[in-house]
Structure 1
Amino acid sequence: MDTGLLEPPTQHQLRTPHAVLDRAALQAELAGLDLESQPDHARRTVVLDILKRHLKAGRAEIRRRFYDEGVSGASVMRATCYLVDELLRVLHDHASFRLYPLANPSMGERLSLVAVGGYGRGELAPHSDIDLLFLLPYKMTPRSEQVVEEMLYFLWDLGFKVGHATRSVDDCLRQAKADITIRTNLLEARWIWGDHALYQELRERYESEVQADTAAQFIEAKLHERDERHKRLGDSRYQLEPNIKEGKGGLRDLSTLFWIAKYVYRVDDAARLVDLGVFAQDEAKRFEKAQNFLWTLRCHLHFQTGRSEERLTFDMQKQIAGLMGYHDHAGSSAVERFMKHYYLVAKDVGELTRIVCAQLEAEHRRRARFRLPTLKRRRSVEGFKVEGDRLSVSGPEVFCEQPIKLLKIFATAQKHDLDIHPRALRWIAQSLRCIDRKLRADPKANALFMEMLTSPKDPETTLRRMNEAGVLGRFLPDFGRIVAQMQYNMYHHYTVDEHTIFAIGVLHRIEQGLMAEETPISSEAIHKVHSRRALYLAVLLHDIGKGRAGNHSEVGEQIALKLGPRLGLSDEEVETTAWLVRHHLDMSAVAFKRDLEEPKTIQDFAANMQSMERLRLLLCLTVADIRAVGPGTWNDWKAALLRDLYWHTEEELAGGFHAEARDLRVKRAKQALAERLADWTPQELEAHMARGYPSYWLGWDTDTHERHARIIRRAECEDRPLTVETRVDTYRGVAEIIVYTADHAGLFSRIAGALAVAGASISAARIFTLKNGMALDTFWVRDAQGGPFDRPDRLARVSSVIERVLAGRLNPMHELAKRRSGLPSRYTVFKVPPRVLIDNKISDRHTVIEVNGRDRPGLLYELTRALSRLNVMIHGAKISTFGERVVDVFYVQAVLGGKVEGEAKIRRIRQRLAEVLTDPECRPAKPPKAVTEPVAETKAATGRKTVAAKHAKADSKNDTISE
């Protein structure tokens, strides 16, 4: 087996190595230079030009082999290492024998050039840094300093990033004992050129003075270092844009494994690890495949970006997927298939490093991190051996003789808060074939699985253990199809299986009362549900249909109907599970896209729920689903919307929401406000009560009515044409912006533009025109990154910008055009097809327009501006952003009131909004205006032209500041 691990890059490993760099030819070319005849400033330039030419040619040859001949990443890394080695040898000889020759060097003048770190290991990607040790026998001499400096200057001028140290052997050993990083670097030290005896002294003394009898200490330090690195980078191998070198499941984890093996077993070849029993043969093959895949991927990243790039960004994912031969298949794109392969490789790396490192840890009798004193003397638990605090079995045959133990060992570990021994995990992985149809049909096995899923003892950890071991995907083959399934968008942060397991963990924490502060309603509702098993299974299955053709909710519903009976659920539980999976997106869709004060919205949603049981179940599932998407996805605004929808629907199901007569409810709203305004005169009260239409009185609570009343009274007393009030709404986690001014066409659009200029992102808006012709518009905003918009200076700027825009002193379109896209350039790889839905059935009073497209700064302003020019009045808006995708919903009416009707009008709206949604860079260039001969116009045509001109004039007047 040739893994390429720590093998020095010699000529024997490369085909036609002289095509990469011919050292003899390069040295001969340098020797032929007449440097003495050159002026001082030109000598170095001449040498540097020759070195650059050879380096460029060598790199071009390596790239050609990679892309034209299809050599592996391992070959590229060895060839790059060979190229740098040869170049360093030439530089060493040039500096030592031509620039600073010494006829009779003393022992103190000796110098050994040593590669350390990844370069020492023989792993050098095309644009990686090179780590060098200039090894001395004693302290630095003036001549050694000159040689070292000259070499470094040449390397820097050639464009290399060099990590270097100049130390004596004693210095190296002393620092290695004190610093684990230096100890690791020296572990991989490889001689390149110079005094070999000096390097050999370092190797021998390192083994005897540093490495001997410190294996346990080294293992513990490297595992701790790995854990800290994982935490720093998100502690998940399923990151949206993973770091393939430093991230969990990346190349650094493989390196950690080899460092430990080399330190403990003194091996330089992975094949030896099989002989020593550290690796089984199949594990060594998996190690080799994972390493080669990651090396090849890293080479693509370096070549395509032209730099030392280790992060697999969205744009690189799509580009490299094609380069590595992935194609679109039904239900999944090429990039999703490529990323699924990557995540499976990362999962393999995690499994290999966990098993081997834990085995080494156990061999060196290191105490496990979690020790239960009560179990110290127990030798077995429920038929399983206990070694320390880990469950194990007597041998691999146990699992094939009793396949149910492949499940029971996880259940026992969960029940008794134990870990599973790495040796047992290895045997489990080797016995997965024993999980067959017979075991899947076994009622005891299925009951055992449901016990683990619904256990009060941390089902998330148990499911993750089962998933890492491969048991979960084998026992539930439909789940196996979503393992490592990527969701190629900016909204989801994890693979489908990881997201699902996170969601189970969230649901468990809600039930345990650990999230009562963040999710008070679901924390209360979950203890009122009767179908607890159905809820947990629904969360497990809610995304199980992803990656297949068709609507994933409908596919998941069919899987639930099939799987529920097998797992022992009753007919009622199966129906409930399937309903929850089918409708798991409904609650968030209504809460985030619909006007919750619209009676029909609540009535239709309640009719779909049918019962309080289903409402409670769906609330818990929805909260778990959203919170498991990724960091920052859940916020107070979403929480408030879900709470409002839940309460309104609960009231509707109880027969109380909007059940009273409309006039009576308006009357009660006015009475409640009058009690709050006891300091007003009867005349002031009467005038204010007459301002609002019924929709206004029914659309707000008493607190808001009072706040509005005092804003309006103050504005009229001060005769202010524009009033802008701001406050932080802690309930919703947003800033509330209230604008009171004379209503006119395009007002919403201009305010939206002003808010965009001020750096605010609108989450929702409600617009009311009062009987006195004044607009009372409310906007709820967050900052452009979805965070709180609560700084006093930013709120003050909002008021100023709105005033300047409405006064015509600031043009939002011009201001927004100056700004770069709010999305990093790598996100432009996402193309969201524009979609416009226009519905006259959702609302009793409004036409509902829903638009979907790729987000960009100022998009809302452009959309509302287009609606204004189409003579459509906006009465409310719900704005949602899901990663790169924006979903905006507008409640609108025709300019003269009532719904927007007429097929031609609706078609014009749909066409214009689709044009706005299209990414500017994707829009076709406008053709030049054709020049035609004037023709006679009919009277009817002239009339239509006159009407059009009037509308154009009105639009121009209304939008003077937007042109």
Structure 2
Amino acid sequence: MLDNPLAAIAICPMSMTQYAQLDQSDKLLAYCQQLELNLPTPPNLTDCAAIRHYLQATNHAIDKHLRHRGTAATEQIGTLINIRTLVIDEVLSALFAYHLPDNFALFAIGGYGRCELLPASDIDILLIGENIHATQANIEQFVASLWDIGITPAFSVQDKTALDTAVSDQTIATAWLDARLVAGNVSFINLPFNTVKKNWSIQAFYTAKINEAKQRYLSHNATEYNLEPHIKNAPGGLRDLHILHWLSRFYFGQDSSDAVANFISQDERQEIIAAQEFLWCVRHHLHTLANRNEDRLLFDYQKSLAERFGYYQPNEQATHHDITAALEVMMRQYYHHAMRVTTLSEMLCAYFAENYLTDTSLALCSGERTVIDDNFCLISTKDTDGKLVTKIHANHADTFSNNPANLLKIFLIMGQQGINKITAATLRAINQASLLIDDDFRNQSQHRQLFLANLQQSNYLFHRLRLMKRFGVLGNYLPAFGQVMGLMQYDLFHRYTVDAHTLFLVRILHRFETDSTGKYGLASEIYQKIARKDILIIAAIFHDIAKGRGGDHAKLGAVDAYQFCLDHGMSESDSQLVRWLVLEHLTMSLTAQKQDISDPDVITRFAEFSESIARLNHLYVLTVADMNATNSQLWNSWRATLLKQLYTSVHRVHSLGVHTVDKDKVIALRKTAANDLLIQQHHTQEQITALWSGFGEEYFLKQKVSDIVWQTTQILANKHKLTLGEPIIMLRRHDEVSLRGIQLLVCTPDQDNLFATTVCVLDKMGLSVLDATIISASIDDTAMALDCYVLIDRHGANCDTDLLSYSHRHHELVDKLRTSLHHQHLCTPPKTFKTTSPLRHFNLPTQVHFTKATTLAQQGRHQMQLITKDRPSLLAKIGAVFSELSVQVHGARITTLGERAEDMFYLSNQHGELLSDDKLIQIKEKLINILDN
């Protein structure tokens, strides 16, 4: 292709002066002939309506060509951008000649100056002249004509004598670095660039751009791996390439290709070009799809973008799996380029500071050196904020090529010395030498010992592993890890790519060591007492390493982990523990969230599964870290409480024996503890015994002591309501749930469809159910329903509408529940779902599975697992199905994982017996029909 003459990082050798001297029409014709692109015939360039149509037709022709090329469009995007730029140049030149005198000069600046125009890019232009006030009317006519032809200009007018004042703003200075003469006074051609150079030092400009980048990174969570990344401003976006372009342009000048070659190697240049071309294509398609300047890769556009790139063809045969796979391939390509852009940008900016800034406090040569050995030293310098920074540095250019073991040794020294930074020149050498890591390298005992020693050294382990990943060491040493780099799962639960999640998990494990805030509580206490933390680190690295291969990633990863441990000289028992942790890394979270962990039978089985306190400790710590590293927004105290409750109960079994979860013993202990507390609250023994005589074993197996006390107190205080046929409805703050958790008690004369009615009211009040316990009891010889719900108030972020703080909403809920329990027909769920963004972009076919419940509290009932897409009113519609089919609900555990709802229900017929096979088929068909249509 013909190179973009002003592309980032001086991609091609043509200078700005040479480019300005070319005939625009000839250049445009050559580009079009090369691509066999048929553009419309240029109109009379004073006819604004015709020009508007011409520009639209040009964009349409370019878009059609790109769509036809699919993924191969990256090979031609630079030329197509040149074509668009030349068309705009041609139009603006004609309008300039028509409206403005020759003693003015029109410059393209910013992205337009770099010849980086996408369909809806800003047209940044600078007009420089003398005696501006005398030509004000001409300027206004020129600007009006731009609006008339459909261009929204970012327009600046500067008097030649006032340029120094304007350029003091770093944003303006940056834009003027890319100033390119489009029309007018040729003697002004270098004026904007020279003005920047006159008013800014390289140190000041460098500091301004680096600080700007830091703020930009923070606003995008400092990661390349956002689910909806901003392709221009996020880490790894086009702005990171622009910084390199601006630094090289400022330092080396406008005609700087030879000089820049010393700054950026040929291999790095090729990587930059590849990333830039891919990001340009993404940006083109985003602008076209949104019909505006849109640089966010939102879910709204991702599917259409994958289609435009040709990752899949939309047709009736394209399944949900096909589309999801295509999206994951496309996003993996994006994340791959973004990671490399971030890596190269950070490294080259550091290299620039170390080698080209004249301020000796920033120059590498001025740093204080501490020799470690023949290969490495430590260099201490001050950063742009004046803070002392120490980096490790390779003493010789061939440190790694002569002795590849140094590729691992340098990271071990960093841990031993407490250093988390490497000089840019050394990083560049590591990146180039990482290809030396092959099978022979991996099989050498010395290298295996060094790699294992790195994992056993906890100092800055996350930072060291991240550097090893970014600069080729980790992916080459562990090829399986290299295969999951950039691999994402197209859902809302997994917020990061597999590699980013894995390293984040390691970081959280490290935080357990110094958890001063108490955020992780018990997990931190346990982690700090574990002697062999490397076992957890290895399990963390391998727990998801087999994703994307097909099959059960836990089983496949366990095989890899076990072999790794044996190959690296670990004992059989340690290797088996790592294998078990990888194999079962999901088991504890699934048990806590989906099973009734108050049931003694569940606890006994989990104790048998975990075998020992040591295994339980390792699994608990890994599980807490994994859940936080998957999606910290979905980690709340409700999930933390469930996990802690499971751990504590199982730990008690391991410590005291299986007899501690004997059903009769559990019931007796809970009754005794609750009874003592109730007596202290001045309830009589006769009252307590009389009430509890109608509560079966199921009640005391399902409820915790604190809940038994609260519920008993409320019922005893409000029994008069029951004699009148009125329900007891009580609410309190649930101290184990974050996000303003609420506990709801409904005690009412037993009736059909109670669950469906209740959840319908809760949904309409903006309350989400986390847990439901549905129990039948007898109070004064009358059949009663004793139901308890754990809720989240979706409106609770506003203290003015918080359910427990705002008495109006509190009373409204109680009134609506009371009315609906008397008149069930008054509360029906909505006929259709109102799916909100971004949920609407995900399709998840509903799955319904039935098994016979095995827990003590639910024996003789069916357990139904429902997996479907989460959405508002979901539980209300499910409850309506149960009501319609006369199904009794005895309990529910509601789990939301991103866009997925994975809920568990315990069901029976109206007589409390197992459901018939025909009824199970009816339930499944009805749910799938309602939830998927």
TM-score class, shorter = 0.7 to 0.9
Contact 2:377 2:394 in 1 (8 A): yes
1:837 aligned counterpart, secondary structure: strand
Partner-residue secondary structure (3-state), 1:654: helix
> Which is worse superposed, 457-466 or 341-350?
341-350
Give the conservation status (yes or no) of the 8 Å contact 1:111–1:144. no
Alignment RMSD, CA only?
3.0
Q: 1:503 to 1:79 in 2, by over 3 A?
A: same
In structure 1, what is the Cα distance between the partners aligned to 2:909 and 2:255?
78
* Equivalent residue number for residue 384 of structure 2: none
Contact 1:879 1:887 (8 Å CA) reproduced: yes
Contact 1:74 1:296 (C-alpha < 8 Å) held by counterparts: no
C-alpha separation between the residues in 2 aligned to 1:367 and 1:443? 43
Residue 170 of structure 2 is aligned to residue 180 of structure 1: yes
- The alpha-carbon distance between structure 1 residues 664 and 239, as it changes in their structure 2 partners (threshold 3 A), is closer
The residue matched to 1:242 in structure 2 has which SS? coil
Structure 1 residue 657: Cα displacement: 6.2
**Structural mapping, 1:762-781, within 5 Å:** 762-771=769-778, 772-781=782-791
Q: Distance in 1 between matches of 2:442 and 2:603?
A: 42
- 2:3/2:79 contact within 8 Å kept: no
Query: How far did 1:658 drift?
Result: 6.3
Deviation of the 1:632 alpha carbon: 0.9
Answering whether residue 697 of structure 2 is matched by residue 694 of structure 1, we say: yes
Please tell me whether the aligned partners of residues 852 and 862 of structure 2 are also in contact (alpha carbons under 8 angstroms).
Answer: yes
- Asked whether 1:726 is paired with 2:713, we answer no
Asked whether the 8 Å contact 1:396–1:428 carries over to 2, the reply is no
The number of equivalent residue pairs is: 874
Aligned amino acid, residue 747 of structure 2:
Y
Q: CA deviation at 1:317?
A: 2.8
User: CA shift at 1:425, angstroms?
Assistant: 0.9
One-letter amino acid of the counterpart of residue 870, structure 1:
L
Which residue does the alignment assign to 1:128? 121
* Alpha-carbon distance change, 895 to 351 in structure 1, aligned in 2, over 3 angstroms: same
Confirm whether residue 405 of structure 1 aligns to residue 401 of structure 2. no
- Structure 2: how far apart are the matches of 1:803 and 1:168? 76
1:792 aligned partner: 805
Q: CA deviation at 1:377?
A: 4.8
Q: 1:89 — aligned with what?
A: 93
What secondary structure does 1:792 align onto? Answer: coil
2:914 maps to amino acid: K
Greater CA drift, 148-157 or 493-502: 148-157
Q: Compared with structure 1, are the counterparts of its residues 438 and 86 closer, same or farther at alpha carbon in structure 2 (3 Å cutoff)?
A: same
Correspondence 1:162 to 2:162: no
- Decide whether aligned partners of structure 1 residues 659 and 249 sit closer, same or farther in structure 2, where only a CA change above 3 A counts: same
Structure 1 885/701 Cα, relative in aligned 2: closer, same or farther at 3 Å? closer
The structure 2 residue matched to 1:884, chosen from 879, 899, 902, is: 899
Give matches, 1:862-941, under 5 Å. 862-900=877-915, 902-918=916-932, 923=933
In structure 2, which of residues 106, 131, 139 is the aligned counterpart of residue 148 of structure 1? 139
Match of 1:289 among 274, 278, 296: 274
- Which residue of 2 is the match for residue 514 of structure 1? 515
How far 1:769 sits from its partner (Å)?
2.1
Counterpart residue number, 1:67: 67
Identity across matched positions, percent: 28
Q: How does 1:213-224 map to 2 (within 5 A)?
A: 214-224=201-211
In 1, distance between residues paired with 2:450 and 2:813? 58
TM-fit CA distance, 1:755:
1.6
Mapping 1:421-570, distance limit 5 Å: 421-510=423-512, 512-514=513-515, 517-529=518-530, 531-570=532-571
Moved more, 429-438 or 524-533: 524-533
Moved more, 360-369 or 474-483: 360-369
Spell out the pairing of 1:83-482 with structure 2 (5 A cutoff). 83-96=87-100, 110-138=103-131, 140-141=132-133, 144-177=135-168, 179-207=169-197, 209-211=198-200, 214-267=201-254, 271-275=257-261, 277-326=262-311, 333-363=325-355, 364=357, 376-381=368-373, 383-388=375-380, 389-418=390-419, 419-482=421-484
Question: Distance in 2 between the 1:332 and 1:481 partners?
Answer: 19
Q: Measure, in 2, the Cα distance between the counterparts of 1:432 and 1:661.
A: 58
- Deviation of 1:808 after TM superposition, in Å, equals 4.1
Shift of 1:584: 0.4
Supply the AA of the counterpart residue of 1:912.
K
Correspondence for 1:757: 764
Alignment partner of 1:600 is 2:601 = yes
In 2, distance between residues paired with 1:196 and 1:181?
A: 25
**Secondary structure at the counterpart of residue 632 of structure 1:** helix
Shift of 1:171: 3.1
Structure 1: stretches of 5+ with no match in the other structure: 31-46, 97-104, 924-963
Quickly say closer, same or farther: Cα 1:12–1:249, change in 2 above 3 A. Answer: farther
Are the structure 2 counterparts of residues 4 and 199 from structure 1 closer, same or farther at C-alpha, using a change threshold of 3 Å? closer
Distance in 2 separating the partners of 1:791 and 1:645:
29
Q: Does 1:857 align with 2:872?
A: yes
Q: Deviations over 1:23-47 (max 9, x none)?
A: 5x413xx4xxxxxxxxxxxxxxxx5
Q: Does the 8 Å CA contact 1:332/1:547 hold for their aligned counterparts?
A: no
Residues 753-762 or 50-59, more deviating: 50-59
Q: Residue 441 and residue 790 in structure 1: after superposition, are their counterparts in 2 closer, same or farther (change >3 A)?
A: farther
Paired AA for residue 865 in structure 1: A
More off after superposition, 463-472 vs 594-603: 594-603
Residue 451 of structure 1 and its aligned partner are, at CA, apart by 2.4
Instruction: State how far apart, in whole Å, the 1-side matches of 2:122 and 2:482 are.
Output: 39
> Cα offset for 1:3?
5.1
1:843 aligns with 2:843: no
Q: How far apart are residue 80 of structure 1 and its match? A: 2.2
SS state of the match for residue 415, structure 2?
helix
**Alpha-carbon displacement from aligned partner over 1:518-566 (angstroms, at most 9, x marks no partner):** 2221112224445532221101110001010101111111111221112
Q: Is the partner of 1:481 in helix, strand or coil?
A: helix
TM-superposed CA distance for 1:672, in Å, is 3.5
Task: Out of 124-133 and 718-727, give the one that drifted further.
Answer: 718-727
- Taking the aligned partners of 1:406 and 1:587, their CA distance within structure 2 comes to 37
Structure 2 residues not aligned, in runs of 5+:
8-15, 33-37, 313-317, 381-389
TM-score normalised by the chain length of structure 1 = 0.85
Q: CA deviation at 1:134?
A: 2.6
1:42-86 deviation line (CA, Å, top 9, x unaligned): xxxxx5433322222222222233234657222332222223222
Q: Which runs of 4+ in 1 moved over 6 A?
A: 328-332, 367-371, 785-791
Cα distance in 1 for partners of 2:6, 2:828 equals 58
Alpha-carbon distance in 1 for matches of 2:693, 2:848: 38
Amino acid at match of 2:435: R
Q: Distance in 1 between matches of 2:249 and 2:571?
A: 55
Q: 1:648, 1:657 within 8 Å by CA — same for their partners in 2?
A: no
Q: Which stretch has the larger CA shift, 730-739 or 61-70?
A: 61-70
Whole-Å separation in 2 of the counterparts to 1:113 and 1:161: 16
Please state how far the C-alpha of 1:315 moved relative to its aligned partner. Answer: 4.5
Q: Distance in 2 between matches of 1:520 and 1:370?
A: 44
Q: How far apart are 1:850 and its partner, in Å?
A: 0.6
Question: For residues 797 and 452 of structure 2, what CA distance do their matches in structure 1 show?
Answer: 39
Confirm or deny: 8 A CA contact 1:81 1:124 kept in the other structure: yes
Q: 1:368 Cα deviation (Å)?
A: 7.7
Measure the CA separation in 1 of the matches of 2:853 and 2:591: 15
Amino acid at match of 1:91: L
The equivalent of 1:833 in structure 2 is: 845
Distance 2:586 2:674 in 1: 37
What is the letter of the counterpart of residue 881 of structure 2?
A
* Cα distance change on mapping 1:113 and 1:585 into 2, 3 Å: same
Greater mean deviation of Cα atoms: 885-894 or 162-171: 162-171
